[in-house]
Amino acid sequence: MKFGKRTRDDIVMDDAFTAIHDDASTGFLRQTFGDSARADHEKNLLFCVLGCEPKPPYGPNQHTAKLLLDLIGQAALQSTPSTLFTVSMQVYDVQKGEYPVDWNAYDGFLLPGSFASAYDTDPWILKLQSVLQDVIVAQQRPMLGICFGHQILAHSFASGRVVKVPTGSRGGRYAMPTTAAGACLLQTVSTPSLYYTHGDMVAALPETAVALGGNQQVPIQAAAYYTTQADAAALQQESVDGSSMLPKPYAVTFQAHPEFASTRDLGMYRTLELILDAMQGRGDLTREHRLKAGKDAQEHFEEVQKDSVNVMASVGSLLGWFP
């Protein structure tokens, strides 16, 4: 393991520090969010990023972590404006077999996207599926999965399944219609606008997971994972009954990329736009689709950013990251 071990004690609060602390040699990032002069509480959050794509334009893993860092910081402040948050991330490259030594050191785990497919049989993908089952699922560790992360968590279960999108790859802004369970759990607008770039989709979830959104083209665009099938069924029933006593999931996943809307520069121009270019270059998107998707993404950035931060604020509260 080339990364040094870090714990919460390594995170030092600095009221004047607002820029990203980026130590590429250790894969460690840190940023403070909030106004120290007005905050009445302080909270440190340490995340493990299980990076799955070392190559641009989605990678390298440090680039992806910066997007997630900014998204989580914005969502944390929205959730609790009076708190000064220091958000730190330790980045691992799972394609190289890098994983934490001490899983207990982290408040949560982030499993982002990749150009790989969850049903591929590369050794690192099979290893990741095993780790997800042995650590995240078995120990119910709080995790956010995005795109490939959404897909591979489902595919790591015997009853989960990932396939190519039958109608072809999707890139750009799409509305995600929420299910009754999704509207109840995420507490957001019924069809949040989010950015997407994918050619695969989750076709089946395990019995312990519940779909939170989707449409006829891509039926499972978000999911919540529970310890037991009874908890998953309880969410379904309580979302219908309107009960406020909802069971809490240990993992929430999205086919969308809410991190693309973290900033207009790094998220949209230097990530989403370049991925759309790459998808066109591979023949996944037509030139007409790519140009239309890019124009639409720019015109609706504020809307997508608002919905992305709202969704992340709900997820952070569900997983116990935000007060």
pLDDT at residue 19, rounded to an integer: 64
* Pair of tokens at residue 24: 């590429």
The CA-atom distances, in angstroms, between 251 and each of 149, 225, 239, 259 are 11, 5, 18, 17
pLDDT at residue 188, rounded to an integer: 80
For 135-183, how does the pLDDT look when each residue is reduced to its tens digit (9 = 90+)? 999 999 999 999 999 999 999 999 999 999 999 999 999 999 999 999 9
* Phi, psi torsion values for 268, nearest 5 degrees: -85, -55
- 8-318: CATH class: alpha beta
Range 86-96 average pLDDT:
97
For 206-252, how does the pLDDT look when each residue is reduced to its tens digit (9 = 90+)? 999 999 999 999 999 999 999 999 989 888 776 555 555 678 999 99
- The domain segmentation of the chain, as residue ranges, is 8-318
18-27: b (≥16 Cβ within 10 Å) or e = eebebeeeeb
* Pair of tokens at residue 197: 């770039």
Beta-bridge partners for 161: 204
Helix axes 301-318, 287-299, angle to 10 degrees: 80
Q: Do 259 and 68 contact (CB within 8 A), yes or no? A: yes
Q: Computed over its alpha carbons, how large is the radius of gyration of the chain?
A: 18
For 299-321, how does the pLDDT look when each residue is reduced to its tens digit (9 = 90+)? 999 999 999 999 999 999 999 99
Instruction: Answer yes or no: pTM beyond 0.75.
Output: yes
